[in-house]
């Protein structure tokens, strides 16, 4: 599954009047960063950065003056996001601005079913809050000390770490599956490691004396001992890398 964690910075709060001036995105495949990213500064035309917005992100009108217009980078944005989920914190704000910009250049809006709001996810997972990006970084032990101002790429990078932790993505590539012979297989996702499929058996490290001692212990525990279930199944545990 391909997802883009993204963020925008804008000239103000009104999507119909204000403009996107920065967009950053981080690509995830199966909840793992691929190393691909998008980062653009955008000239808002004659729309000035509101002082309140300036205090948040620090992007000045002077800095933006020689940057490309949204029309100049629209296709680049569409290409980067093509086929992926759009994931943002308080996504209605960012998508509202993106769709307003798309409308100005004659592009279709982002379908609602392609959007994931991490703020909504956080509120369901942590209903007592707080659930701001900074608060979630603290909750998950993610270092955000360098975040003195908002920035689209930096916030995307932090949100990607939060999203991976919040959705259990660091363990997503490891899955236990049962095959026909009741063999337990640990399978690594092909997007994480590019190894060929070569089953490897891990030999037991138990000596015969240790086996006998364990069997005697289980016998003393009685018929209800949990070990009896495992001895009856005698599963063959293997690791398969893909």
Q: Of 73, 76, 70, 80, which Cα lies nearest the Cα of 3? A: 80
* Residues with Cβ within 8 Å of residue 106, at least 6 apart in sequence: none
- Confidence label for 180 from pLDDT (cuts 50, 70 and 90): very low
- Tell me how long the chain is: 242
* Residues with Cβ within 8 Å of residue 101, at least 6 apart in sequence: 19, 20, 70, 74
Q: Tell me, what's the pLDDT at 232?
A: 53
Q: Tell me, what's the pLDDT at 198?
A: 38
Distances 197 to 169, 188, 190 between C-alpha atoms, Å? 23, 10, 10
Specify which residues 87 forms β-bridges with.
Answer: 5, 116
Rounded Cα gap, residues 8 and 3, in angstroms: 16
For residue 111, what are its two tokens? 């379908």
- Confidence label for 205 from pLDDT (cuts 50, 70 and 90): low
Kind plus residue range of the DSSP H or E element containing 229: helix 227-233
Rounded Cα gap, residues 212 and 103, in angstroms: 75
pLDDT in tens, 106-163: 999 999 999 999 999 999 999 999 999 999 999 999 988 877 678 899 999 999 999 9
For residue 75, what are its two tokens? 């296709």
Active site residue 150: yes
Q: Tell me, what's the pLDDT at 64?
A: 98
Instruction: Classify 90 in phi/psi space as left (phi over 0), alpha (psi -120 to 50) or beta.
Output: left
State the first-to-last Cα distance of the chain, in angstroms, to the nearest integer: 17
Domains and CATH numbers, the chain: 2-171 (3.30.420.10), 174-240 (no CATH)
Candidates 39, 57, 89, 150; catalytic one: 150
pTM over cut 0.75: no
């Amino acid at each position: 599954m391909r997802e883009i964690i993204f963020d925008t910075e804008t000239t103000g709060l009104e999507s119909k009047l204000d403009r996107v001036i920065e967009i950053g995105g981080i690509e995830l495949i199966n909840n793992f960063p691929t190393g691909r990213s998008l980062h653009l500064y955008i000239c808002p035309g004659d729309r000035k950065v509101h002082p309140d917005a300036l205090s948040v992100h620090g992007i000045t009108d002077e800095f933006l003056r020689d940057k490309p217009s949204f029309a100049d980078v629209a296709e680049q944005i569409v290409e980067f996001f093509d086929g992926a989920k759009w994931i943002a914190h308080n996504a209605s704000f960012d998508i509202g601005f993106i769709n307003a910009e798309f409308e100005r250049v004659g592009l279709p809006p982002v379908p609602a079913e392609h959007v994931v709001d991490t703020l909504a996810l956080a509120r369901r997972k942590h209903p007592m809050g707080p659930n701001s990006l900074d608060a979630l970084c603290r909750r998950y032990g993610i270092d955000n000390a360098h975040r003195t101002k908002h920035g689209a790429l930096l916030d995307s990078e932090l949100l990607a770490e939060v999203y991976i932790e919040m959705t259990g993505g660091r363990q997503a590539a490891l899955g236990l599956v049962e095959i026909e012979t009741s063999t337990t297989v640990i399978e690594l996702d092909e997007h994480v490691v590019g190894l060929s499929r070569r089953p490897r058996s891990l030999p037991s490290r138990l000596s015969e004396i240790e086996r006998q001692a364990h069997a005697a212990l289980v016998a003393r525990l009685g018929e209800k001992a949990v070990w009896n279930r495992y001895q009856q199944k005698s599963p063959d545990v293997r690791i398969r890398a893909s």
